[in-house]
Each structure stands twice: as C-alpha cells, then as structure tokens.
C-alpha cells in the first residue's frame, strides 16, 4: 500500500441508528440488587479481560492472558450451548473488539507504516440475503472489504465462500480475486456482543456497531 493512498469512499454509506434509552422500572432496580445470571457474569468477566488488549495485539505476546481469555470464552459459550445463533439476530454490522486472527491484527498493528491507520474492523452479515462482508476501514477515506456468500449449516454454524475483494480509496478502486472458504460458529450472541470460533481455531469477539455499514 502506498503512503496516504487509502481513503474511505464518499459513497460509503454509514447509517447511524439512534441509541435506545433504557427504561428504569421497579423490577429492574430489584434485579440490580440480585446476583447476575451466569451468562451475564461470564460476559462481564470476558469483556474485562479484553478491555486493554488493543483488539488482540497485546494478547499476541502474552500467552497467559490468551489462556485466560480463551477460558472465559469457553465459560460464556457454555451458557449459550444449545441456543440458535444463526437466525435474524445474526444480521448486523458487527465491530471487532478482540481477535486472535493474525492477518487482521497485522494490519491493525502495522497500518501506520503505510501512512494510514486502521479504523473499525467489521463483519457485516445479512442472513436473509445470505451475504457477509469482512471490512477494514482506514479513516478518513480508505476501506478494504471482502464479499462472501454464506449458508446456514446448523444452529450455530455458518459456512462462507469468498466471492470478491476490493481495496478502495478516495476516487479509486482496485478489485482483488476471492481466496477461499470456510465456516464460523457463533458460540454466544445477545443484544450487545457475539463470540465466534472459526475453522482455523481463531477467536473473535464483536459488538453491535452503532451504525450500519454499506458498500
């Protein structure tokens, strides 16, 4: 990549959704005084563990922390065992919080070398249209995204096949060939986060982004 050449196109559509306002009721106040559910306690623990890991960059050089995070993922996954995570709730713009995926972490860590920086890293899934976009943004104007077709394989597994890839800057676009296929399992999903294991034994933790990414 040439320095300062990456830019997110003016045509990129980011639609912000209004944040929902929580309603405080007597029952919700009562719930706060009680012990959290096993899934909520496990989720809080996992999010605390990854909070300062720079999306996984720091974890790469800390095997002990990686082991703690994987154990926390397994604990949270156990609370969601048997649930369906491949339904409509999977359709969203998901923003990466943490991963073990080396290629993505390489880009996040080394983007400044190429005169840019990595912004949000996204998975954009539409279960109804059977599509998946893996997206890395480079503010203010750059984006690299890979299009895939998907197929729901089971209650928690989705198969995918790459169809094309695009490196796009301000006023230019460079197409790249597709390069593979595989599957991922969403072992936990709720209104805020999703936890994923994939065919390469990588882990991914994402949150629902406050906007919808469109090509």
pLDDT above 90: residue 50: yes
Q: Is 104 inside any structural domain?
A: yes
Q: How many domains does the chain have?
A: 1
DSSP per-residue codes, 45-73? HHHHHHTTSGGGTGGGG-HHHHHHHHHHH
Tell whether 69 is covered by a domain: no
Q: How many CB atoms within 10 Å of residue 156?
A: 23
pLDDT greater than 70 at residue 12:
no
Which tens digits make up the pLDDT trace of 65-82?
999 999 999 999 999 999
In a domain, 101, yes or no: yes
Taking the CB of residue 186, how many other CB atoms lie within 10 A of it?
Answer: 25
In-domain check, residue 44: no
Cα–Cα separations (whole angstroms), residue 1 to 7, 133, 213: 12, 21, 23
Q: Which residue has the higher pLDDT, 122 or 28?
A: 122
Query: Does the N-terminal peptide bond of residue 140 adopt cis geometry, omega within 30 degrees of 0?
Result: yes
Residues 6 or more apart whose CB falls under 8 angstroms from that of 33 comprise: none
pLDDT in tens, 130-187: 999 999 999 998 999 999 999 999 999 999 999 999 999 989 999 988 778 999 999 9
pLDDT of residue 8: 38
Asked, for residue 127, whether it belongs to a domain, the answer is yes
Domain limits for position 177: 85-214
34 domain residue, yes or no: no
Q: What is the CATH number of the domain that holds 174?
A: 2.40.128.280
Q: What's residue 30's pLDDT? A: 43
Confirm whether 71 is domain-assigned: no
Domain assignment of residue 54, yes or no: no
What is the model's pLDDT at position 33?
A: 52
């Amino acid at each position: 990549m040439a320095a300062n050449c990456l830019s997110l196109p003016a045509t990129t559509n980011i639609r912000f959704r209004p944040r929902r306002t929580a309603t405080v009721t007597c029952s919700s106040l009562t719930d706060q005084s009680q012990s959290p559910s096993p899934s909520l306690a496990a989720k809080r623990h996992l999010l605390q563990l990854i909070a300062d890991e720079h999306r996984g960059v720091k974890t790469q050089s800390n095997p002990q922390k990686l082991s703690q995070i994987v154990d926390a993922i397994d604990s949270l996954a156990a609370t969601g065992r048997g649930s369906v995570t491949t339904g409509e709730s999977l359709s969203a713009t998901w923003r990466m919080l943490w991963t073990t995926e080396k290629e993505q972490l390489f880009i996040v860590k080394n983007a400044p070398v190429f005169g840019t920086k990595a912004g949000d890293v996204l998975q954009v899934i539409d279960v109804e249209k059977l599509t998946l976009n893996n997206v890395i943004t480079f503010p203010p104007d750059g984006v690299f995204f890979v299009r895939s077709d998907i197929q729901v394989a089971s209650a928690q597994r989705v198969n995918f096949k790459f169809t094309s890839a695009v490196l796009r800057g301000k006023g230019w676009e460079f197409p790249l060939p597709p390069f593979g296929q595989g599957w991922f399992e969403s072992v936990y999903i709720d209104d805020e986060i999703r936890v994923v294991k994939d065919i390469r034994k990588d882990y991914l933790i994402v949150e629902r982004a406050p906007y919808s990414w469109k090509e």
